Amino acid sequence: MVKKKNLLKTGCLLLVLAMSMASLSGCGNKNEDVITTSAGKAEQVSGSSGIESEYLGKCYSAEYTDLYKGNENTYVELYGNYHGKILYRVSDYSNGEEAFYLFDLNTKESEKLDIKFTEDSDKQYIMNVSANKADQLAVLINEASGTSEEQSDVNYKINLYNADAGFEKTIDLKEIQNEYPEDDRYVSNLILLDNNCLAFSIGSDVIILDEDGNEKGKVNSSFDFINSMSLNNEGKILLTGYGMKGLETLIVNPDSLSSEGKYDNFPMAYNAAPCSTKDGMMIVASDNQLNLYDPASQKQDLILNYIDCEIIGNNINRIFVTDEGQIVLFLQDWSSNTSEMVYLKEIDPAQVVQKEEITFGTLFGIDSDVEKAIVNFNKKNEKYRIKVVTYANEDNIQSEDDAIQALSSMNNSLITDSCPDIIDLSYVNRDNLVQKNVLLDLNEFFDYSSKYDKNDYLPNILDVYTVNGVLTSIPKNIHLNVILGGKSVLGDVNSWTLQDFMDVCKKYPDAQPFSYTTKESMLFALLSGSSSSYLNYAEGTCNFDNDDFKKVLEFCNQFPEDIDYSNVDIDPDAYSKHEILFLDRTLWGVDDYMMYYSMYGESVKIMGYPNAKGNNGIALSSEGSYGISAKTKYKEAIFEFLEVLLEDEVDQFTYNSGISPRKSLLEKQFERAMEEEYVLDENGEKIVDENGEYIRIPKMTIGTETGMYEIYSASKEDIDQIRDAIERIDYLNSEDYDLYMMIYEEAQPYFKGQKSVDETAKVIQSRMSMYISEHY
């Protein structure tokens, strides 16, 4: 009896122990059926979301094909399956010629088609081409009528061709176009259905034409903009577009002319239209990965990560599946005007070359430059590959709190053994990381690299990135955060105090300091460069309870609380007429400066943000700022990657691509910006005007919120102005949003008349003193 009791007790005890162990084991990460990757190939354990498809659970290799070896003036566009081959078009901007080709995936050869879809390539432009299963073709043509001044008078036509590419008829869309407001007549997304009906989008509507080209009906999507149209396996049209909740989907039945709901849990497809497969699935290219979506179960699964397969995801322009079921991606790199076709080849996982992984940690993901550099590095390097770790991706970010949580998770990993080898420093506090010895001093990179010389870099820019003697990152290009104003208003001054700034504003009582100035925007603008006047990080003290700051609050208080932007139109000449005095801007380069020149109609002064002492330098920001973990085992491999990442040629500098921190490239940028452009005759000779002078032409025309501005070449004075501003760069614009928000929050009662300026300054001083002494 006693024995039995003991047995029962022991059994209970074991049960309790087993339950405790089981509950503890529940704390672990269950997400194990994700992907193992290696050497640029992706492998996936299938069925993680319950979808069964031939595309899942395979290991893919990306096979690249150059469809056409062109030059910088050549543009390639790919349309999809046609007669069992791939149809694409090559246009040459330099001579206006264009030709269509068919590419055979088996022989890897292209054959030129003897067809011409436009009569006058100067006035007609092919917008889209769609082929149906019977190999009939529909070509959407945009035809400009009248002179160049009347470019807005654009007419769309659809030309139809039979399976032998023989012309059948033209459908003029003018009548349909005219039913829409003038600024909403853009026709796009053509589909030739198998029953010879046509579908295209205009505004937020999908229009269906019958086989005779007559309007059968329309379906309103309620999207602001229809992003893409594609056919699903049932012959219904899947729309993606921007609605109230961001990118949304809508299924349209072209027969019943009705909408049939949407796909839930659909991956975000920003660039290319989704594509259907034979087994009824949809292949969707989202930001970082190629997904498979099952319309029946409304579930998605991963086919591959782009970087694992050495594909630049940002460049994906079109996806389609060949008749043999092979996935083909068409990549278009707009920055270098090159295009590539990639087809995914199934390979044996055993063939995959194993490489050591270097981790690249980023909060929100990588930009296209980094993606390109990683893919190039992974393609060339036989020993290492870079893997991107994103702490805040689409799956776990729904709100601002989620983003804060992700940042906290990233920060925690930086100071532990799970620190990534390469760190995106955009959202983290680099001072803090240097203090904790997390970052490697990148001066070592200059000792390693034979391609990059430290002396070629502008010293003040490297100083900005240096914390306590540690060079935290090396920028590829930089931008200046500045206040711009006309020389007639600012004179010859290069720096100013807050009082100077307020005095200039008082001098023009009828003018607005900035466009759409509110109390909040003015307070932020004035705090941007002056926080160091009030906060002393070195001593852990602050000084908001003084007359200077009270004056700032009083000055900001004269502006409206809010602006109804829908009722405010800015006169294009507002800047030249001194109705608006300044621009609070990021200066991207010389072309950008010249646009402001054109805006002000005079030389523009580049000023730093005013502060109490008037010793204001210029703030710098760079698109990407990447550090290296001091604990990395792959220092030299990362230096190799850094060489790829920092690669920059002056030819690649386009409008808004930034200012080079390297002296040699910067001078080339300046030279290029100073090159004049003139009107040329048919022999390429400059034409002179009635005064015998060459006729200058603008390098480009830029449209802004206030109007269109022509950009001419820069003069030596303009370049000197920019050079001087670059030399005055002395701090990194790392906006402490929490700090601004705290000040703004406390300023609100004063702006609403509930508190005096003294009380407000006292509260701000109290809260800020806690903030600053905590960081001391």
Partner 1 sequence: MKATDIVKKSKTSKKMKKEKRRSGLFLAPSFLGVMLFFVIPFFVIIYYSMVDNPISKEFVFLNNFKAIIQNKAFRTAAFNTFRFSVISVPLAVILSLILAIMLNEKVPFHSQLRTFFLSPLMVPVASVVLIWQVLFHANGAVNDILQFLFHTEPIDWLKSDSGYIVVIVLFLWKNLGYNMILFMAALASIPKDIIEVALLESANPFQIFFKIKIRYLSSTILFVTIMSLISSFKVFREVYLLTGDYPYGSLYMLQTFMNNTFKSLDYQKLSSAAVLMSIIMVIIIGSLFLVENAFGKDVEG
Q: Which residues bind partner 1 (CB under 8 A)?
A: 9-10, 13, 16-17, 20, 408, 411-412, 414-416, 419, 429, 432, 435-438, 540, 630-631, 738, 742, 746, 749, 754-755, 759, 763, 766-771, 773-776
- Angstrom CA distances, 639 to 363, 446, 468, stand at 22, 9, 22
Three-state DSSP class for 618?
strand
Phi-psi region of 264 (alpha: psi -120 to 50; beta: other; left: phi over 0): beta
Q: Which is nearer to partner 1, 110 or 541 (CB)?
A: 541
Q: Which two tokens stand for residue 306?
A: 């782009």
Q: Which is nearer to partner 1, 437 or 615 (CB)?
A: 437
Say how far apart CA 596 and CA 712 lie, in whole Å: 11
- Whether the CB-CB separation of 205 and 239 falls below 8 Å is answered with no
Q: Which is nearer to partner 1, 490 or 527 (CB)?
A: 527
Write out the two tokens for 138.
């529909």
663-673 burial, b at 16+ Cβ within 10 Å, e below that, comes to: eebbebbbebb
Residue 2 or 296 with smaller CB distance to partner 1: 2
**Between 101 and 544, CB nearer to partner 1:** 544
227 token code pair: 């992003």
DSSP code string of 311-362: --GGGEEEEEE-TT--EEEEEEETTTTEEEEEEEEEE-GGGSPP-EEEEEEE
Distance CA 358, CA 385 (A): 6
Provide the β-strand partners of residue 276. Answer: 282
| Identity of the residue, 413 or 586, whose beta carbon is nearer to partner 1 in the bound complex | 413
Least CB distance to partner 1 at residue 409 (A)? 12
Cβ pair 51, 267 in contact under 8 A: no
Q: Which is nearer to partner 1, 263 or 391 (CB)?
A: 391
Cβ closest to partner 1, residue 24 vs residue 568: 24
CB 755, min distance to partner 1, A: 7
The count of C-alpha atoms lying within 13 angstroms of the C-alpha of 267, restricted to the half-sphere facing its C-beta, is: 26
Task: Tell me how far, at minimum, the Cβ of 770 lies from partner 1, in Å.
Answer: 5
CB of 434 vs partner 1, minimal distance in Å: 10
Element (H, E) at 724: helix 716-727
Q: Shortest Cβ distance from residue 765 to partner 1 (Å)?
A: 9
Q: Which two tokens stand for residue 610?
A: 């005013």
Identify which of residues 20 and 233 has a Cβ nearer to partner 1 in the complex. Answer: 20
Distance CA 730, CA 155 (A): 53
C-beta closer to partner 1: residue 351 or 435: 435
Q: 545 to each of 26, 67, 615, 756, 770, how far by Cα in Å?
A: 53, 67, 21, 13, 14
Question: Among residues 565 and 737, whose Cβ is nearest to partner 1?
Answer: 737
Which positions ≥6 away from 418 have C-beta within 8 Å?
none
As measured in angstroms, the least distance from the Cβ of 14 to partner 1 is 9
Distance in Å, CB of 739 to partner 1, minimum: 9
Element (H, E) at 579: none
613 vs 775 by CB, closer to partner 1: 775
Distances (CA, A) of 766 to 47, 348, 471, 554, 773: 57, 65, 34, 19, 11
445 contacts 475 by C-beta, under 8 angstroms: no
Q: Which residues contact 218 (CB under 8 A, 6 or more apart)?
A: 205, 206, 207, 208, 257
Residue (163 or 770) nearer to partner 1, CB: 770
Q: Whole-angstrom Cα distance, residue 578 to residue 490? A: 11
State which residue, 17 or 679, has the beta carbon closest to partner 1. Answer: 17
| CA atoms lying within 13 Å on the CB side of residue 756 | 4
End-to-end, the C-alpha distance of the chain in Å comes to 71
Q: Which is nearer to partner 1, 419 or 482 (CB)?
A: 419
| DSSP-derived 3-state class of residue 768 | helix
d(CA 277, CA 298): 15
* Token output for 751: 């702006």
